[in-house]
Structure 1
Amino acid sequence: MENTVTTATDKTLSVVIPNHNYGRFVGAAIASVAAQTYGPIQLIVVDDASTDNSVEEIHKALDAATSLDATVMIALEENVGKLGALNRALEHVTGHYFIILDSDDVLTPEYAERTIAELEKAREEDPSIAFLYTDCMLINQAGEQLDRGKSAAWDPALLERYSFVPEPATCLAAPVLDAAPYDEAIRKGTKHHKWKKIVAKGWNGRHLAEPLFCYRMHDANLSGIGKRVTAEVESGIGGERILSGYWPLQTTER
């Protein structure tokens, strides 16, 4: 199929942060969006029925994020999972570009500017490219650097066997919206499900081998990567990590 996206004069970036019980991290995620060198930015935060201090921390961080052009806060009363939170956020997306940022991760200040520029450059070569993803720095709960996390070069066939495209990645918003709604029964491997649905529509990605976001390792990562990496580091195993070896494929298991 031939994929086309209408050229928009408004290059707003919509960022969605789904959150569940990450009150200790979500403020830093919001602050990293507000610190971007790119604009304009719309930020949508969805709290997925947290039972900690998340809502308080979200409101505090949004009040401080005065550089953002628009903010939306959605507080859900029932837990619907990350993809359920995403589905509800998509109703509010107005941007030409789109990023999902997990609430325990952090963007470097140049993330949006750099990835949007590279995405547009890639689309000049191949208009079927709808998203651009990067490598990352692995950090601990306190934000201290551990190692580098690496993804793989884009290969749609590889996506059938591995989850290797991270959250975040910079996308055109239209393909993300077109592939929705996402299956809310899937609670692990959520990003794998999202990318597969988008790629099934005929879109492709591009990898930029630079560490442009910080992926936080802790004992509550949904994928379980935090416990594994922390244990490896503590046992003296260091160096770069190929992330596809840690991320699960889409599953309804919890």
Structure 2
Amino acid sequence: MDNVFCTVFTPTYNRKDTIYDLYDSLRKQSNKDFEWIIVDDGSTDKTEEVINDIRKNEQTFSITYVKQENGGKHRAINKGLDHAKGKMFFIVDSDDTLTYDAIELIKHFVDSLNNTDEPIAAVAGLRMGKDGYVIGGAPINEYIDCANSLRKQYDLLGDKAEVYFTNVLKQYRFPTFEGETFLTECIVWNKIADDGYKIRWFNKSIYICEYQEAGLTNNLEMLKKNNPKGYLLNIKTDMMYLKLNTIQRLGYIYGYYFIVKDIKGKKEISTELEVNILELYLAIIAKKIKNYLKGQ
């Protein structure tokens, strides 16, 4: 299968108990002009056996399975792009599923771009929970065109189902750091936006997931501590690309300080962030005042 409309890309790690549900939702797609690429990020369960069984019986669409040493989702995406043959690149996690008409709707989304001269990097649908609730905000009308970095002002916060043009995404590989296995995807998404690309966001649900906020904060804090170089890049690119006000900027500065303050001095931290050390002290003071007012 040399040319397909969409590459459905799935990074996976120890998801043998859920990945078949994703496959079942792919098998039921009303439009089967897609390939499925799975990059196994060093699973130690029987994920490979499950995928091999699926591949033996599937004849409608191509399935590519690649196994790599555990290196994180961002490395898996880079690997998936190396193998992708689709015009579009759709990242679908191995514990989620798609609506039966997801690929058909994505084709409709892409076809609609004939009416614009704007540089569009991706089209996007909505995510919803298994009970049908829509996650985050949605366009008021059928769709809206805006950069990923401007989502807040259009009430588009919350996880969305972005589907990028593969030829665009191949120009923006994820950076990697030795010994680190986590890097937030927004580093790349915001860089694409800063280069002038927009996304066409649609008011249609195409992606079904479990949305669990409980425990997310603690998990993220540990990820940041275990991946400090990636987190530093996250902070610096957000301060560069997002339109932050003074309070927000100080919050970002304090966020990095809080993660590394036990192992790095203030001068080193301010140098890494490329901010004046007085601004770092201001961020610390602002946080203390905020915590004091909270306790009143």
Same fold (TM over 0.5): yes
One-letter code aligned to 1:206: R
Q: Is the 8 A contact 1:216 1:226 kept in 2?
A: no
Q: Which is richer in strand?
A: 1
Q: Which moved more, 1:55-64 or 1:40-49?
A: 55-64
Query: What is the DSSP-based 3-state SS (H/G/I as helix, E as strand, rest coil) of the residue aligned with 2:106?
Result: helix
Q: 1:193 pairs with 175, 180, 187, which one? A: 187
Instruction: Sort the Cα spacing of 1:53 and 1:186 in 2 relative to 1 into closer, same or farther, 3 A.
Output: closer
C-alpha deviation, 1:53, in angstroms = 2.2
C-alpha deviation, 1:30, in angstroms = 2.3
Q: Is the 8 A contact 2:71 2:181 kept in 1?
A: no
Q: What residue in structure 1 maps to residue 165 of structure 2? A: 172
Q: Is the 8 A contact 1:31 1:61 kept in 2?
A: no
Q: What residue in structure 2 maps to residue 150 of structure 1? A: 136
Q: Deviations over 1:197-216 (max 9, x none)?
A: 33233211021122221012
Q: What residue in structure 2 maps to residue 216 of structure 1? A: 210
Query: What is the DSSP-based 3-state SS (H/G/I as helix, E as strand, rest coil) of the residue aligned with 1:216?
Result: coil
Q: Is the 8 A contact 2:38 2:66 kept in 1?
A: yes
Q: What residue in structure 2 maps to residue 227 of structure 1? A: 214
Instruction: Sort the Cα spacing of 1:29 and 1:167 in 2 relative to 1 into closer, same or farther, 3 A.
Output: farther
Q: Is the 8 A contact 2:98 2:206 kept in 1?
A: yes
Q: Deviations over 1:126-159 (max 9, x none)?
A: 44112111222213xxxxx263313455444435
Instruction: Sort the Cα spacing of 1:208 and 1:180 in 2 relative to 1 into closer, same or farther, 3 A.
Output: same
Q: 1:51 pairs with 17, 31, 44, which one? A: 44
Q: Distance in 1 between matches of 2:75 and 2:102?
A: 26
Structure 2 unmatched runs, 5+: 140-145, 227-296
Instruction: Sort the Cα spacing of 1:146 and 1:168 in 2 relative to 1 into closer, same or farther, 3 A.
Output: closer
Q: What residue in structure 1 maps to residue 85 of structure 2? A: 94
C-alpha deviation, 1:17, in angstroms = 0.5
Q: What residue in structure 1 maps to residue 200 of structure 2? A: 206
Q: What residue in structure 2 maps to residue 19 of structure 1? A: 12
Q: Is the 8 A contact 1:17 1:46 kept in 2?
A: yes
Q: Distance in 2 between matches of 1:227 and 1:81?
A: 22
Q: Is the 8 A contact 2:13 2:42 kept in 1?
A: yes
Q: Distance in 1 between matches of 2:82 and 2:99?
A: 27
Q: Which is richer in helix?
A: 2
Structure 1 unmatched runs, 5+: 1-9, 140-144, 218-224, 230-244
Query: What is the DSSP-based 3-state SS (H/G/I as helix, E as strand, rest coil) of the residue aligned with 1:227?
Result: coil
One-letter code aligned to 1:173: T
What RMSD over aligned residues (CA atoms) do the two structures have, in Å? 3.2
Q: Which moved more, 1:33-42 or 1:164-173?
A: 164-173
One-letter code aligned to 2:194: A
Query: What is the DSSP-based 3-state SS (H/G/I as helix, E as strand, rest coil) of the residue aligned with 2:187?
Result: helix
Trace 1:14-93 onto structure 2 (pairs within 5 A). 14-68=7-61, 70-76=62-68, 78-93=69-84
Q: Distance in 2 between matches of 1:215 and 1:84?
A: 22
Query: What is the DSSP-based 3-state SS (H/G/I as helix, E as strand, rest coil) of the residue aligned with 2:55?
Result: helix
Q: Distance in 2 between matches of 1:117 and 1:90?
A: 23
Q: Is the 8 A contact 2:9 2:80 kept in 1?
A: yes
Q: Distance in 1 between matches of 2:100 and 2:75?
A: 28
Q: Deviations over 1:44-75 (max 9, x none)?
A: 1011111222222222233343211x221001
Equivalences, count: 213
Instruction: Sort the Cα spacing of 1:253 and 1:207 in 2 relative to 1 into closer, same or farther, 3 A.
Output: farther
C-alpha deviation, 1:100, in angstroms = 0.9
C-alpha deviation, 1:165, in angstroms = 6.8
Q: Deviations over 1:150-200 (max 9, x none)?
A: 34554444359999474642221111111114446462533x233223323
Instruction: Sort the Cα spacing of 1:42 and 1:55 in 2 relative to 1 into closer, same or farther, 3 A.
Output: same
One-letter code aligned to 2:25: S
Q: Distance in 2 between matches of 1:114 and 1:63?
A: 28
Task: From the CA coordinates, give the structure whose radius of gyration is larger.
Answer: 2
Instruction: Sort the Cα spacing of 1:53 and 1:176 in 2 relative to 1 into closer, same or farther, 3 A.
Output: same
Instruction: Sort the Cα spacing of 1:176 and 1:164 in 2 relative to 1 into closer, same or farther, 3 A.
Output: farther
